[in-house]
Amino acid sequence: MKKVLLEMEDQKNSYEQKAKESLQKVLEEKMSAEQQLQSTQRSLALAEQKCEEWRSQYEALKEDWKTLGTQYRELESQLHVLQSKLQGADSRDLQMNQALRLLENEHQELQAKIECLQGDRDLCSSDTQHLQEAMQPMAPHADDDDCYSTGSVPGQQ
């Protein structure tokens, strides 16, 4: 019976040793799992932080895109206004050029008339001078009741 007790004692010690080893193995696995959990939690926290940064950048870019869209529409509107003004200016420029050409033509016509009238005046002046020269030998002297040189009528004073 002592032998049985000793065998039982050995079995008990063997079971206890195996239980301690199993328990030690379970504890090591638990510690490893806790380390993996902590590592995973740190990775998750970093991923959440990156996600928040990306979300913030996305929102900022979305706001910038909205602002750029508004600015684009405003600039496009200004462009249409300026194009309209440019068309008006081009139209006025065309009208002014036409008016200028008409005035230049009128100026040329008037210049031609002036030259013609000056020619007529010179001719008349020349004719008048020839007539005066031709009439001078026929004109009586001033002391002889000359109605042509004094502008008076003879017999009236």
pTM of the model: 0.46
Q: What is the mean pLDDT of residues 18-39?
A: 95
Residues in the chain: 157
Whole-number pLDDT of residue 101:
97
Question: Could you tell me if 112 and 119 are in contact, meaning their C-beta atoms sit under 8 angstroms apart?
Answer: no
Instruction: Tell me the percentage of the chain whose pLDDT exceeds 70.
Output: 87
pLDDT tens-digit profile of 130-143?
A: 888 888 876 555 55
Domain-wise residue ranges, the chain: 1-96
What pLDDT, on the 0 to 100 scale, is given for residue 143? 52
Question: For 50-68, how does the pLDDT look when each residue is reduced to its tens digit (9 = 90+)?
Answer: 999 999 999 999 999 999 9
Helices and strands in the chain, H and E counts: 2, 0
- pLDDT value at residue 157: 45
